Each structure stands twice: as structure tokens, then as C-alpha cells.
Amino acid sequence: MNYWPLLGVAVIVIGFLLRFNPVLVVVTSAISSALLAGFTIPALLALLGKSFVSSRMLLIFVLTLPVIGLLEGAGLREHAQRWMARLHGLTLARLLIGYLLLRQLLAMLGLTGVAGPAQTVRPLLAPMGEAAVEKILPTLNDADRDELRAVAAATDNIGRFFGEDVFIALGAVLLIQSFYSQHGIELTPLSIAWWALPTAIAAFVIQSVRIWLYQRRLQRRAASARTEAAG
């Protein structure tokens, strides 16, 4: 067995430890592993091209990410923040809970690629959330911004993860059906999706409460800061 291709794993570990660009590290690791495995440059390019053509979803992401990058370069995040600042009735909790509901409903219909961390959270949801938080705390430090971005990303993940199991044509639902069938329990995809609905509702309620408590914590900090300034 040829163990040399495993050096690609070492490239990833070293690259992340040295805090190099993640994309550059992953690409370098992939090329290194392929060359050490005996692939020629033409064979490697042919394999990459075949993989892109056979995986339509990956091709969609490859075409989408440059567009998002151009929009961000044109000031999409700044426009989202200014737009959010003008919506006085839209609080942070309402924004994130509304997005959570939309994300879950779309995932239940199988539209998991409509929104996501790259397409929605980074360019739109996180900047709008920062503008909403600045209504509560005018001055945000780096730790506050990182925490807000984490909450926004978690909201997206929870909405998709617990919503997609309700879609009967999802691969995970079919995998569950196959597992039970092997053990003599016959279930239809519709019944599995139906019983996933209470879990999705519970996840929505729990995450909504967490978002509300997060906003309340920010409001208490703001009230404490105002009291100290007045005193």
C-alpha cells in the first residue's frame, strides 16, 4: 500500500496551524496527494473536470461563490447593515427567528440550497444582525461580533438540519427507511417525515427561545452600561 498520499493530511494540519489561507491549504493538499498517488497533471485535471460535471450541486456552488464575492466587493454587507438600521421595528430576535422559520420551511420542501452560510448568512444575515445589535449596544467589540455571527450560523444550521428530515425524498430519510427495513420494520418515507415534524417544531421553539435570551442578555448589558454612565 502506498502511504505517501497521506502526506496531504499533514499539509492540511500544518497549514491550519500556521493559519494560512484555508482554500490554498486544501487545494495544495489535494494536489499533493494526487501527485504522490501517481496522478499526472492531465489525469488530475480530467478527474476534476469529471467530478464537476457529474456533481451538479458542486457546480452550482462553484458558480455561486464568485457572484457572492463580487456582490460583497460592491458593498452588499454595508447596504444590508444600512437597510437594517432603517427598520426600527425589526429587532434582532425577530430577524433571526423569521429567518429560522423561512429556512425550516424551505428545507421541508427540499429547497436546502436556496439559503445557507455562504449565500445568506455571511453577506446578509450576519451584517443585518450586527446592525440590529448596534441598536442595543452602540459599540461592539470583536468578541461580540464573533458571537453574533456564530448565533446566525447556528440558526441557519438548525433550520436546515431539522427541516430537511421532513422532506420525504431526502437521502437521510431513505437511509432511515433502509435501516429499519433491514431489521424487519417496514416504514414509508412519508411516515418517517411525519414523525420528524415534532422534532422540527421543538427545534424551532428551542432555538427561538435561545435567540430571545441572547437578545435579553444584550439588553441587560446595555442597561447596565447606561446605569454606570449615569452614576
Say what the pLDDT of residue 70 is: 62
Say what the pLDDT of residue 167 is: 85
Say what the pLDDT of residue 176 is: 79
Q: For residues 155 and 3, what is the distance between their CA atoms, to the nearest angstrom?
A: 40
Q: How many other C-beta atoms are found inside a 10 Å radius of the C-beta of residue 114?
A: 13
Q: Do 114 and 163 form a contact (C-beta atoms < 8 A)?
A: no
Say what the pLDDT of residue 53 is: 59
**How many degrees, rounded to 5, is the angle at CA 178 between CA 172 and CA 184?**
140
**How many degrees, rounded to 5, is the angle at CA 161 between CA 155 and CA 166?**
125
Q: Do 92 and 147 form a contact (C-beta atoms < 8 A)?
A: no
- Residues of the chain with pLDDT below 70 are 1, 51-77, 80-81, 83, 85, 231
Q: Do 133 and 140 form a contact (C-beta atoms < 8 A)?
A: yes
pTM (2 decimals)? 0.68
Say what the pLDDT of residue 136 is: 85
